[in-house]
Amino acid sequence: DTVKAVLDGGVKWIQLREKELPRREIFYLAEKLRVITRQYRAVFIVNDHPDIALAVEADGVHLGQDDFPPEVARRFMGETIIGHSTHSLKEAVEAEKKGVDYIGFGPIYRTTTKADADVPKGVELLKEVTKRVSLPVVAIGGIGLERLKEVFSAGAEAVAVASDILRADNISKRAGEFVRIIEKLKKAGG
């Protein structure tokens, strides 16, 4: 129901990020989400598990610094989307050499979603990363509506949002607000 509410709000990408469940449960959840995301024609990304992403025919996988190496995942995942988390300029530059399709960079701000999150990187470092890499950069961490302009002005191509939307009283409405503001910012060039 939560995923449907987010998609009803106009969100076009869903990433399954589940750190607590056993792998078998992640697989079953991924199967369900794949069905829903297909109905909405949304991109579906599985976090951490390239095998599960392949098994459910997800659109791609997102890999962290300590996960399966992206360049190896590319060998057996073919042309599916591969994203890679980065937390420094050096990691972002290295990620570009690994054949990934996009870079997740952050946390930009303090976040409550990820218990072991790094120290916030801020928009100045985000700006430096977007200038140094040619891949799309997805800004991650502590991003609410009020920070969208700042993040897109720094060169982010997209944002990954969890808390701000999922804690809203009306998830679909909040997701829609994000979509509308992002569309306006992109039309205005940041």
Q: Which domains does the chain have, with CATH numbers?
A: 2-187 (3.20.20.70)
Active site annotation includes 85: yes
Q: Which of 74, 88, 98, 114 is catalytic?
A: 114
Active site annotation includes 74: no
Q: Which of 17, 74, 147, 149 is catalytic?
A: 17
**Per-residue H/E/C for 104-126:** EECCCCCCCCCCCCCCCCHHHHH
Integer distance in angstroms from the first to the last C-alpha of the chain?
Answer: 32
Alpha-carbon separation of residue 88 from 15, 85, 91, 152 (angstroms): 22, 10, 5, 18
d(Cα 25, Cα 7) in Å, to the nearest integer? 22
Active site annotation includes 88: no
pLDDT in tens, the chain (190 residues): 899 999 999 999 999 999 899 999 999 999 999 999 999 999 999 999 999 999 999 999 999 999 999 999 999 999 999 999 999 999 999 999 999 999 999 999 987 765 666 789 999 999 999 999 999 999 999 999 999 999 999 999 999 999 999 999 999 999 999 999 999 999 887 6
Q: Which of 34, 85, 172, 174 is catalytic?
A: 85
**pTM of the predicted structure, to 2 decimals:** 0.93
